[in-house]
Amino acid sequence: MEHGKEVLKVKDLHVFIDSEVILENINFEVHEGDFVAIIGPNGAGKSVLLRTLLGLLPYKGEVILEPGIIIGYAPQRFVLERDLPISANEWLQLSGVSKEMIAETLKKVGFAPSLLNQPIGILSSGQLQRLILAFALLRKPKILFVDEPLSAVDASGSEAITQLLLKLSKEEGIAILFVSHDLNLVNRSASHIICLNRKQVCFGGTKEALSEKTLKELFGEDQTVYQHQHQE
Amino acid sequence: MKIRQFISISIRNNYIPGMSIESINILVVGAAIASAAGIVGAFAVLKRMTLAGDVLSHVALPGIGIALLFNFSTFLGASVSLLMAAVLVWAIRNRTTLPEETIIGILFSLALAIGVIITASEELIDALFGDVNAVSFAEGVLVIGLSAVIIIVMLLLSKKIVLSTVSPELAKASGLRPDILELIFLLVFATVIALGVRFTGTLLMGALIIVPAAAAKNISRNLATYLTLSVFFAFISTVGGFLFSKYLGILPGPTAIFISTLLFAVSMPFRWR
């Protein structure tokens, strides 16, 4: 993976949970502007890898982030009580950034300002996903970790969020690591792919190099990835 | 006319019917505790600690029993046992995979059993349901001061507690320590209970923290309203409970719980399916 400055280097990473090996011997680097998809079957350790990189899980090996780098994290849509008395505006203000920055970020992610006074528990899945993404972007991160960004979003929302993530990586040089089950999303947007297959990396490289054979090995059946070209 | 002069003339002339200066002191101190309980309760309900919060107050009983046995301050006894319980719950929760309700069910029932065994029977009803006839100047200053500190700490930590409650992972990724915030919150919670047990008793103080907040949550759509209403409901439950108890000659603690439960009942239609 090469272009731009290196922002993350992972060396001989091993992760254990309750003495069970979840990931072993993981090595890769991420550079500015890279759009890295982490794929693999259920239980392959995709979310574990992301959470380890964020420092949420203990590990052996090295995770070297560029010193002082600002990290953004958009977790999978969390389960909220419908009567949670926290408005979208109050949620964003938890980050401690200015109102101007909040307004600018909301515009970027396409979150309607009219929803700001709504309790976050009653937002639709798509709106909540955008809010989570907005929260991750508020502090202007240089590396963004996104867990299943489109898991609860409809087709049009999915397209909009994909375009937004692409724009962030291409125009603002943000390195993005995202976990996804959606191979079409991966094929359309990722510049690099990390395939996890029960503990180990089975593939790490540009998406063009990812063969159907590897996909079949990973997911156990024939995978169809639809090519999709956008008009300039 | 200066306010102080007006109050003293009002009391002397019995403008507040049936209220002695001692009663007014108790009322002011009770209102301070209620305000602290209201804000702590709001976060406890948000953290889904309804059951834990309710029964944590039972842990004050063995402390009170020991204090009565060895003749030292019951406030000190209650505080020590509550703070120890808070640390114990936190440690067990962080070091085992036991569900929280199991820890609470076993530990707090045990505390209640020990408390009932060691507390002399003539003191037991007061310890369980609270009764206070007078508050000394020093005690009043201590309670009001600690209540103010609790309110300030809660307001300063409010954003961090909300973030770590809604998404502990996001909080950790933002550099926060949800486990440490949890410990601080449990200690603050224990302190509020210690402040209030003389007034409401060990059985009901937890409920006075939880019920007004639960009522406030039913009708709030944002955090600012929720915190304000929670404090307001705790305040009127306590002050109303005290005034009614004076006029009706019943215990103030249970009366306050009755009023807060009434508020909860009134707020319930907002939650109809």
Task: For residue range B19-71, list pLDDT tens digits in order.
Answer: 788 888 888 999 999 999 999 999 999 988 877 777 788 888 889 889 888 88
pLDDT for the residue A220: 56
Q: Which of A55, A75, A90 sits opposite B222 (nearest CB)?
A: A90
Q: Is B20 on the interface with A (CB under 8 A)?
A: no
Percent of residues, chain A, with pLDDT higher than 70:
82
pLDDT exceeds cutoff 50 at A229:
no
Q: Given the structure tokens 């090295």, which residue do they identify?
A: A62
pLDDT for the residue B118: 87
Across A44-59, average pLDDT = 88
pLDDT exceeds cutoff 90 at B264:
yes
Give the ipTM.
0.80
Q: Is B226 on the interface with A (CB under 8 A)?
A: yes
Q: Is A90 on the interface with B (CB under 8 A)?
A: yes
A87-140: pLDDT as tens digits? 999 999 998 889 999 999 999 888 888 999 999 988 888 888 889 999 999 989
**pLDDT averaged over every residue in chain B:** 86
Could you give the count of Cα atoms lying within 13 Å of B235 in the half-sphere of its Cβ? 13
- 8 Å CB contact of A85 and B221: yes
Query: A92 or B135, which is more confident?
Result: A92
pLDDT for the residue B253: 85
Nearest residue on chain A to B157, judged by CA atoms? A94
Q: Is A17 on the interface with B (CB under 8 A)?
A: no
**Rounded Cα distance, B114 and B110, in Å:** 6
How would DSSP label each residue in A60-94? EEEEEEPTT--EEEEPSPPP--TT---BHHHHHHT
Under 8 Å CB pairs connecting chains A and B tally to 63
**B162 chain-A contacts, CB cut-off 8 A:** 86, 90, 94
pLDDT for the residue A5: 87
Q: Is B273 on the interface with A (CB under 8 A)?
A: no
Q: How confident is the model at residue B220 (pLDDT cuts 50, 70, 90)?
A: very high
Percent of residues, chain A, with pLDDT higher than 90:
33
Q: Which of A29-43, A63-77, A179-193, B247-261 has the lowest mean pLDDT?
A: A179-193
Q: Is B169 on the interface with A (CB under 8 A)?
A: yes
Euclidean distance between the first and the last CA atom of chain A, given in angstroms as a whole number? 25
Q: Is A87 on the interface with B (CB under 8 A)?
A: yes
Q: Is B110 on the interface with A (CB under 8 A)?
A: no
pLDDT for the residue A127: 87
Q: How confident is the model at residue A202 (pLDDT cuts 50, 70, 90)?
A: low
- 8 Å CB contact of B166 and A78: yes
pLDDT exceeds cutoff 60 at B267:
yes
- 8 Å CB contact of A55 and B172: yes
- 8 Å CB contact of B170 and A75: yes
**B161 chain-A contacts, CB cut-off 8 A:** none
**B170 chain-A contacts, CB cut-off 8 A:** 73, 75, 78, 135
**B216 chain-A contacts, CB cut-off 8 A:** 85
Across B158-169, average pLDDT = 91
Interface test mutation site (partner A, options B155, B164, B222, B231, max chain A beta carbons within 10 A): B222
Bridge-based pairing state of the strands A60-65 and A6-17: antiparallel
- 8 Å CB contact of A55 and B218: no
Could you give the count of Cα atoms lying within 13 Å of B192 in the half-sphere of its Cβ? 36
pLDDT for the residue B169: 86
Q: Which of A46-55, B103-112, B136-145, B263-272 has the lowest mean pLDDT?
A: B103-112
Residues constituting chain B: 273
Q: Which of B167, B170, B225 sits opposite A85 (nearest CB)?
A: B225
Region of B35 please: left (phi>0), alpha (psi -120 to 50) or beta: alpha
pLDDT exceeds cutoff 50 at B213:
yes
**B166 chain-A contacts, CB cut-off 8 A:** 78, 80, 84, 86, 91, 120
Q: Which of B46, B166, B222 sits opposite A87 (nearest CB)?
A: B222
Q: Are B217 and B226 spatial neighbours (Cβ–Cβ below 8 Å)?
A: yes
pLDDT exceeds cutoff 90 at B160:
yes
Query: Reduced to 3 states, what is the DSSP secondary structure of residue A169?
Result: helix
Across A208-219, average pLDDT = 59
